[in-house]
């Protein structure tokens, strides 16, 4: 009923490293060839935890965008924007907050943990805004009626919450007087053959919970040419029972690639000083990898080692083909290869990967207005789309009176 649309965001953390590239950006670059994509800097989300530190937002936002563009996000394919420049996000967050049970937010699995973790860093996040973090995220997604949200494992519970809120919204505000009659009339408008198919798919879903029938019925409604948007919303909602489907239910798109760890085998992070940055020079990359700690058992070149105990092995798992990996396993365990020798294919692979990224960086570094203009355009495009959704949301919530 709504067209496929991808949306994702990141809190602005400044220049990006290889962990961001393999965990998110590479996937975004692929997705932009398959779907309309919207990617944004979640600067308000950053303020939920770093409200005492507003000065860093500006630089971190622009550094992040430059790296997105260098990584291959193409502004002619993807819309790039800043959350706070589309203040409709705030309006939707507030409207959603009226019917979001407090317990749903308190029970988000990451919540209590994060409160403690931030407290350890001297940040008090026992605030209204931080509790509302996932609600604001839900608004980010729903305001574009995005149905596909590429995120990491840690964000899945937020996407589930988004879906629950969309359902509750549609249930509360998608009900209209005479919904059933209007839905039945809309079915007849499809013509006898499609109407019959719709009815049997709806029955299969309602009686047997047949998810395939649900998807087929949704596709059927999508393809009908002569229906108004209102009728499509009704037919969509009618398959599952409820009312009109005004807000879309989003799914997480999980990235399946092996996780890239930092140079010390911990999570890669600039603050742990174990990261390779996207615009790092080939010499710096080479030095960093050559200096990496390896399996401590390999004191001498003749001591055999175990790749499972070595952070270099993680890099091979991300970068090397089967033959190279066999060469490492064998060579390490028999002391057939030295550690520097073992690292070389990884150094070459990382530098080859970063080459086109560094090349793209040049024009953006030379001309900062280029990035400003791309983002300005993106904010306008995002705002137009957000307005479309907000018109429907306001109407459904009884706010478009004269």
> With CB cut-offs between 5 and 8 Å by kind, which of ligand SF4, ligand TRP, none does residue 23 bind?
none
Which of 1, 5, 6, 11: binder of ligand TRP (CB under 6 A)?
11
- Number of CB atoms found within 10 A of residue 185's CB: 12
* Element of type H or E holding 41: strand 37-41
Binding status of residue 61 toward ligand TRP by CB under 6 A: no
Q: Which span (101-109, 206-214, 221-229, 291-299) binds ligand SF4, by CB under 6 A? A: 291-299
Q: Which span (220-228, 271-279, 302-310, 370-378) binds ligand SF4, by CB under 6 A? A: 302-310
> With CB cut-offs between 5 and 8 Å by kind, which of ligand SF4, ligand TRP, none does residue 298 bind?
ligand SF4
- Where in 104-143 is the site for ligand TRP (CB under 6 A)? 137, 140-141
Binding status of residue 88 toward ligand TRP by CB under 6 A: no
- DSSP 8-state secondary structure symbol assigned to residue 279: T
On the 0-12 / 13-18 / 19+ scale of CB atoms within 10 A, 377 is middle
Binding status of residue 346 toward ligand SF4 by CB under 6 A: no
- Where in 40-59 is the site for ligand TRP (CB under 6 A)? 42, 45
- DSSP secondary structure string for all residues of 104-119: HHHT-TTHHHHHHHHH
Binding status of residue 315 toward ligand SF4 by CB under 6 A: no
Strand 78-82 with 148-151, pairing: unpaired
On the 0-12 / 13-18 / 19+ scale of CB atoms within 10 A, 254 is middle
Binding status of residue 332 toward ligand SF4 by CB under 6 A: yes
140 within 8 A of 232, measured Cβ to Cβ:
no
Q: How far is CA 3 from CA 60, 105, 222, 328, in A?
A: 32, 29, 8, 46
Binding status of residue 307 toward ligand SF4 by CB under 6 A: yes
Binding status of residue 294 toward ligand SF4 by CB under 6 A: yes
> With CB cut-offs between 5 and 8 Å by kind, which of ligand TRP, ligand SF4, none does residue 328 bind?
ligand SF4
Starting at the edge strand found earlier in the chain, the sheet holding 6-10 runs: 78-82, 37-41, 6-10, 148-151, 251-254
Helices (H), 88-228: 88-97, 102-106, 111-120, 128-131, 133-142, 156-173, 179-189, 192-208, 211-223
- Where in 241-270 is the site for ligand TRP (CB under 6 A)? none
172 within 8 A of 125, measured Cβ to Cβ:
no
278 within 8 A of 21, measured Cβ to Cβ:
yes
Smallest gap, in angstroms, from Cβ of residue 338 to ligand SF4? 7
Smallest gap, in angstroms, from Cβ of residue 292 to ligand SF4? 7
Which of 5, 6, 9, 221: binder of ligand TRP (CB under 6 A)?
9
Q: Is 148 helix (H, G, I), strand (E, B) or coil?
A: strand
Q: What angle (nearest 5°) sits at the alpha carbon of residue 274, between those of residues 273 and 276? A: 105
Strand 78-82 with 251-254, pairing: unpaired
> With CB cut-offs between 5 and 8 Å by kind, which of ligand TRP, ligand SF4, none does residue 345 bind?
none
> With CB cut-offs between 5 and 8 Å by kind, which of ligand TRP, ligand SF4, none does residue 310 bind?
ligand SF4
> With CB cut-offs between 5 and 8 Å by kind, which of ligand SF4, ligand TRP, none does residue 307 bind?
ligand SF4
Binding residues for ligand TRP, per CB under 6 A? 7-11, 42, 45, 137, 140-141, 149, 151, 155
- Using CB under 6 A as the criterion, which residues of the chain lie in contact with ligand SF4 when the complex forms? 294-295, 298, 305, 307, 310, 312-313, 328, 332, 337, 339, 342-343
């Amino acid at each position: 009923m709504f067209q496929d649309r991808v949306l994702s965001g990141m809190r602005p953390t400044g220049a990006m490293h290889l962990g961001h590239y393999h965990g998110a950006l590479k996937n975004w670059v692929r997705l932009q060839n398959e779907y309309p994509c919207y990617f944004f800097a979640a600067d308000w989300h950053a303020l939920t935890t770093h409200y005492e530190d507003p000065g860093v937002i500006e630089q971190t936002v622009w550094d992040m965008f430059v790296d997105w563009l260098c990584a291959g996000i193409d502004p002619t394919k993807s819309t790039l924007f800043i959350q706070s420049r589309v203040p409709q996000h705030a309006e939707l967050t507030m409207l959603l907050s009226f019917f979001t049970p407090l317990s749903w937010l308190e029970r988000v699995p990451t919540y209590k943990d994060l409160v403690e973790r931030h407290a350890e860093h001297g940040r008090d996040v026992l605030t209204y805004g931080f509790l509302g973090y996932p609600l604001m995220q839900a608004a980010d997604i729903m305001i574009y009626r995005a149905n596909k949200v590429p995120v990491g494992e840690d964000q899945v519970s937020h996407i589930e919450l988004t879906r629950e809120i969309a359902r509750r919204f549609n249930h509360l505000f998608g009900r209209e007087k005479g919904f059933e009659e209007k839905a039945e009339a809309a079915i007849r408008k499809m013509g006898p053959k499609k109407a019959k198919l719709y009815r049997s798919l709806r029955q299969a879903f309602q009686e047997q919970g047949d998810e395939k029938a649900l998807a087929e019925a949704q596709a059927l409604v999508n393809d009908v040419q002569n229906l108004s948007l209102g009728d499509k919303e009704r037919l969509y909602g009618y398959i599952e029972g409820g009312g009109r489907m005004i807000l879309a239910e989003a799914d997480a798109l999980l990235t399946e690639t092996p996780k890239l760890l930092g140079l010390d085998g911990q999570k890669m992070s600039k603050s742990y000083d174990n990261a390779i940055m996207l615009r790092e020079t080939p010499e710096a990359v080479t030095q960093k990898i050559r200096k990496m700690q390896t399996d401590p058992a390999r004191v001498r070149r003749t001591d055999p080692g175990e790749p499972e105990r070595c952070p270099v092995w993680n890099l091979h798992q991300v970068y090397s083909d089967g033959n190279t990996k066999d060469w490492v396993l064998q060579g390490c365990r028999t002391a057939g290869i030295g550690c520097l020798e073992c690292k070389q294919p990884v150094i070459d692979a990382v530098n080859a990967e970063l080459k086109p990224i560094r090349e793209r960086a040049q024009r953006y570094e030379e001309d900062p207005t280029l990035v400003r203009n791309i983002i300005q355009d993106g904010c306008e495009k995002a705002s137009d789309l957000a307005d479309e959704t907000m018109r429907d949301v306001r109407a459904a919530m009884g706010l478009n009176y004269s």
